[in-house]
Structure 1
């Protein structure tokens, strides 16, 4: 019975795991090349979690991490999920981690839930404090007034 359980678990985890991001797509984001992004972007790939360096990211969170402002704007315009969680972090949490105030404001404008917590009970404010993202801390606190 134990063997059957672990076999089923292994099969499920194999299908549920993120796919490796292609070199082309990685380069597009690293170079913030929105023209090339449009060529690579399909609706079914918009909200996938992609594996990069043993961590999972959505295209939106990768654009935040890499500070790819044009690609970020295009992904928001294409209705990428602003709530998609990969690696137990939402895009808004990544803006807090990397102190990307302009991107944080764009996510709020797109309807992001500011006070969402991950499975570890962490919020974007917790990430902003951990990474000393002073602008994001003040921005998030401004919603409490």
Structure 2
């Protein structure tokens, strides 16, 4: 039992460390373009190869979908989805759907699900529905329950 816990902890911290260490810095110019929904600038600043990478923002690692959600920019989220960003992409274990749920962004949750985000993906055993319960996002919980298998 103790050996299993030790191995699990080592695996967790190695994955966490890998994600933080491999995350690239993101420029203020890109952050402002996301926040201001300046898609002409984003077209120039972000290549298709950059879409699913992890970027360091305030000590943590996020992809562009998660950054859009954290900045409360539904239009930027839509922009990155249209550019084919990975809906299941994660940098620290949470998918964009989990972030949208955690932060109470029902419209982002709806958009992600309508575009194929999975309700079955887990982070430490938790699904987006579990995040809705944990963060007391009742409206999102009700919405996600409609899709529960």
Q: Distance in 2 between matches of 1:114 and 1:36?
A: 32
Residue in 2 aligned with 1:25?
30
Tell whether the 8 Å contact from 1:30 to 1:68 is kept in structure 2 after alignment. Answer: yes
Q: Secondary structure at the match of 1:143?
A: coil
Shift of the alpha carbon at 1:110?
Answer: 1.5
Q: CA RMSD in A?
A: 2.1
Trace 1:41-120 onto structure 2 (pairs within 5 A): 41-118=46-123, 120=124
Structure 2: runs of 5+ lacking an equivalent = 1-13
- The alignment status of 1:126 with 2:130, answered yes or no, reads yes
TM-score normalized by structure 1?
A: 0.84
Q: Secondary structure at the match of 1:144?
A: coil
- When the two structures are aligned, how many residues end up with a matched partner? 134
Tell whether the 8 Å contact from 2:20 to 2:61 is kept in structure 1 after alignment. Answer: no
Residue in 1 aligned with 2:143?
139
Q: Distance in 1 between matches of 2:117 and 2:134?
A: 21
1:27–1:122 CA distance, 2 compared to 1 (3 A): same
Structure 1: runs of 5+ lacking an equivalent = 1-8
Tell whether the 8 Å contact from 1:82 to 1:90 is kept in structure 2 after alignment. Answer: yes
Q: Distance in 2 between matches of 1:106 and 1:88?
A: 20
